[in-house]
């Protein structure tokens, strides 16, 4: 899989932009603040319908515009596909595939990428929500149908939470209890599917994470990741639930959906009174976390800056390798957004060696000396304009 052409209109700082890409390594180069990341942000949007930089779509529309359009030609095996996304400020977004209108989530079935960016440091140092997003994006990349499951689950949580807030003022109401039971059924059904998929992902990432980390740092620091699930915590603590449980994480064992369903319902029973008192849905995948460890210690709070960066890179690399192994559509596109500036020369070379075998790699850099040497398809950017496209040997030692 690879991107062959990107067209933008009223996107970020681009009034218009036409950018061709080639198979192999592509370098988008330009000073900071000129629009390099905006290009890869547009590309990555087609894989997840979200930005790796902001939580909403409005920021991606050019100042003063109410609409932004991104079109991308993708080569998938032996066919070319035209993907189009129209972002709208005041109405629903619109999508097309080969000029045929589709639901936006259908775009993710045709494109897959893995983004490495400075924001990835938040994976190990940030809030649980960042790690949950990482898990869910990887789950959806493995199986695009889960984009719908995740969306439906979020809707159920919102509706159920609204009902819980009303229940505080209608305690004991039979109608409220009956309605809550209906939302419980949906919460459990969708939540179990998500937890099962996350457990499968954690198991699958273990080996490639260890190998990727060792290749980047040249040391075996025993990198490990494990889930912290709110349903287990709530049962063990008799109904006490926190955003980030402090108890030991559970292993991602191969547990049946039937067992997870029973556990989820037990957890809901355990926290029912607290949920009504607080008006919040306290258990489920939206309250879970994942623990990252090096040498049996949490990365967060114990690892150095370099170790944290290396863990985050190895984590993304493990997802890329997993998708490469499983996807019938070929390699995901690898995007390295201003990553090399954060690494020393040895780790730059190690990371590039790890991704060099993928069908397409797209790199952004402000300084060409930060980029490992080689033959690059180069795109020059300045002030929201594409100045030129060429193929040159990048040699940072000259």
Q: What is the pLDDT of residue 388?
A: 74
Q: Is the pLDDT of residue 54 over 60?
A: yes
- pLDDT recorded at residue 45: 95
- Give SS3 for 75: strand
pLDDT of residue 179: 86
| 353-355-361 Cα angle (round to 5) | 125
Looking at the chain, the whole-number percentage of residues with pLDDT higher than 90 is 69
- The predicted pLDDT at position 240 comes to 43
Least confident of 102-116, 224-238, 321-335, 337-351: 224-238
pLDDT at position 245 is: 43
Cβ count near 330 (within 10 Å): 17
- The rounded mean pLDDT for the chain is 89
DSSP character at residue 28:
E
pLDDT of residue 167: 78
* Ordered DSSP codes for 162-214: HHHHHHTTSTT-HHHHHHHHHHHHHHHHHHHHHHHHHHHHHHHHHHHHHHHHH
Alpha carbons 2 and 111: distance in angstroms, whole number: 9
pLDDT on residue 393: 54
Domain extent at residue 344: 1-112+328-398
- For 128-158, the pLDDT digits (tens) are 999 999 999 999 999 988 988 999 999 999 9
**Other Cβ atoms within 10 Å of 121 Cβ, number:** 17
pLDDT score of 390 more than 80: no
The band of 252, judged by pLDDT with boundaries at 50, 70 and 90, is very low
How many helical (H) and strand (E) elements, i.e. helices and strands, does the chain have?
A: 10, 15
pLDDT per position as a tens digit, 161-204: 999 988 777 665 567 778 888 999 999 999 999 999 999 999 99
Q: Are residues 388 and 242 in the same domain?
A: no
Q: What mean pLDDT do residues 272-279 have?
A: 89
Q: Nearest 5°: CA angle at 386, between 383 and 389?
A: 145
Query: What pLDDT, on the 0 to 100 scale, is given for residue 243?
Result: 44
pLDDT at residue 258 in the model: 92
Which among 69, 80, 77, 83 is positioned nearest to 14, based on CA atoms?
69
Instruction: Give the gyration radius of the chain's Cα atoms.
Output: 22
Rounded Cα distance between 225 and 371, Å, is 30
**Residue range 324-330: mean pLDDT, rounded:** 86
Collapsing DSSP states into helix, strand and coil, what is residue 25?
Answer: strand
CA gap 40, 38 in Å, rounded: 6
Could you give the CA distance from residue 343 to residue 73 in angstroms, rounded to a whole number? 32
328 pLDDT more than 60: yes
Q: Which of 326, 344, 359 is the last residue of a domain?
A: 326
Number of domains, the chain: 2
CA distances (Å), 129 to each of 125, 136, 278, in order? 11, 10, 20
> Domain check: are 134 and 261 in the same one?
yes
Maximal C-alpha separation, the chain: 77
Q: Do residues 172 and 152 share a domain?
A: yes
Q: Summarize the confidence of residues 355-383 as an average pLDDT.
A: 92
CATH number at residue 142: 1.20.1050.90
pLDDT band for position 241 (cuts 50, 70, 90): very low
CATH code at 49? Answer: 3.40.50.300
Distance CA(61)–CA(87), nearest Å, equals 8
Q: Are residues 230 and 346 in the same domain?
A: no
Are residues 257 and 351 both part of a single domain? Answer: no
Of 326, 350, 369, the residue at which a domain comes to its end is 326
Task: Based on the fold, state whether residues 5 and 103 are members of the same structural domain.
Answer: yes
* The predicted structure's pLDDT at residue 253: 53
What does the pLDDT read at residue 296? Answer: 94
Indicate if the pLDDT at residue 329 is higher than 80. Answer: no
- Would you state the pLDDT for residue 127? 94
Instruction: Report the alpha-carbon distance of residue 386 to residue 14 in Å, rounded.
Output: 9
Residue 378: is its pLDDT beyond 70?
Answer: yes
* Boundary-marking domain end, from 326, 341, 373: 326
Same domain, 313 and 378: no
Lateral strand order in the sheet of 94-97:
14-20, 2-11, 67-76, 79-88, 94-97, 100-102
Residues 106 and 129 in one domain: no
pTM: 0.89
Task: Check residues 118 and 169 and name the one with the higher pLDDT.
Answer: 118
């Amino acid at each position: 899989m690879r991107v062959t052409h990107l067209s933008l209109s009223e996107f970020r700082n681009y009034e218009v932009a036409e950018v061709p890409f080639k198979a192999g390594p592509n370098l988008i180069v330009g000073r900071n603040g000129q629009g390099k990341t905006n290009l890869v942000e547009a590309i990555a949007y087609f894989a997840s319908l979200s930005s790796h930089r902001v939580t909403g779509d409005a920021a991606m529309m050019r100042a003063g515009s109410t609409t932004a359009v991104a079109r991308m030609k993708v080569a998938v095996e032996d066919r070319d596909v035209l993907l189009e996304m129209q972002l709208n400020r005041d109405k629903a977004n619109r999508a097309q595939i080969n000029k045929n209108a589709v639901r936006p989530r259908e775009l993710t079935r045709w494109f897959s990428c893995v983004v490495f960016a400075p924001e990835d440091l938040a994976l190990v140092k940030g809030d649980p929500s960042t790690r949950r997003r990482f898990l869910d994006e990887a789950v959806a990349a493995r199986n695009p149908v889960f984009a719908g499951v995740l969306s439906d689950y979020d809707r159920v949580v919102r509706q159920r939470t609204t009902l819980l807030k009303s229940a505080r003022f209608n305690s004991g109401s039979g109608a409220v209890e009956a309605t809550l039971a209906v939302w419980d059924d949906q919460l459990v059904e969708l939540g179990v599917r998500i937890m099962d998929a996350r457990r499968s992902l954690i198991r699958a990432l273990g080996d490639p994470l260890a190998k990727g980390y060792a290749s980047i740092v040249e040391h075996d620091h025993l990198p490990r990741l494990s889930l912290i699930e709110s349903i287990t915590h709530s049962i063990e603590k008799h109904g006490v639930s926190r955003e980030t449980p402090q108890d030991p994480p559970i292993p991602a064992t191969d547990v049946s959906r039937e067992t997870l369903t029973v556990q989820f319902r037990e957890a809901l029973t355990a926290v029912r009174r607290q949920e009504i008192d607080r008006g919040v849905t306290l258990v489920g995948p939206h309250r879970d976390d994942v623990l990252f460890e090096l040498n049996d210690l949490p990365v967060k709070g114990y690892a150095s800056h370099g170790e944290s960066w290396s863990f985050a890179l190895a984590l993304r690399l493990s997802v890329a390798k997993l998708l490469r192994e499983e996807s019938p559509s070929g390699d995901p596109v690898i995007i390295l957004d201003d990553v090399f500036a954060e690494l020393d020369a040895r780790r730059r070379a190690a990371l590039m060696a790890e991704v060099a075998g993928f069908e397409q790699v797209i790199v952004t850099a402000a300084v060409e000396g930060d980029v490992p040497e080689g033959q690059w398809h180069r795109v020059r950017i300045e002030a929201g304009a594409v100045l030129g496209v060429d193929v040159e040997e990048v040699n940072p030692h000259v």
